[in-house]
Structure 1
Amino acid sequence: MKSKHLVPAVTSLPQSPQAEADHRVRRYALTMTIRIVCFALMMFVQPYGWYTWVFAAAAAVLPYIAVVFANAGSDSTETSAESPLQEIEAPAAAPEEPSSSPSDPQIITIRESGRDDA
Structure 2
Amino acid sequence: MKSPNSAPSATSLPRAPREDAGARFTKYMVTMGIRVACFIAMVLITPYGWYTWILGAAAVVLPYFAVVIANVGEDTRPAVAESPDRQIEAPRVAPEPAEEPPRVLRISETPRPDTDR
Q: TM-score, normalised by structure 1?
A: 0.58
* Number of residue pairs matched by the alignment: 93
Pairing of 1:65-80 with structure 2 (within 5 A): 65-75=65-75, 76-80=77-81
Q: Secondary structure at the match of 1:46?
A: coil
Which consecutive residues of structure 2, in runs of 5 or more, have no partner in the other structure? 1-6, 91-104, 106-117
Letter in structure 2 aligned against 1:80: A
Q: Does 1:44 align with 2:44?
A: yes
Deviation, structure 1 residue 8: 7.7
Is residue 35–residue 63 contact of structure 1 (8 Å, CA) maintained in 2?
yes
Work out whether 1:63 is the aligned partner of 2:63: yes
Kept after mapping to 2: 8 A contact 1:14/1:79: no
Q: CA deviation at 1:12?
A: 4.5
Which protein has the larger Cα radius of gyration, Structure 1 or Structure 2? 2
Q: 2:59, 2:67 → 1: CA distance?
A: 14
How far 1:83 sits from its partner (Å)?
5.7
Q: What is the correspondence of 1:1-118 to structure 2 with a 5 Å cutoff?
A: 11-75=11-75, 76-80=77-81
Given residue 39 of structure 1, which amino acid in structure 2 is its aligned partner? F
| Aligned mates of 1:58, 1:33 — CA distance in 2 | 12
Q: Following TM superposition, by how much is the alpha carbon of 1:70 offset from its aligned partner in structure 2, in angstroms?
A: 1.3
Q: Percent identity?
A: 47
CA contact (8 A) 2:9 2:84 kept: no
Any stretches of 5+ residues in structure 1 without a counterpart? 1-6, 89-100, 102-118
- Kept in 1: contact 2:9–2:82 (CA 8 A): no
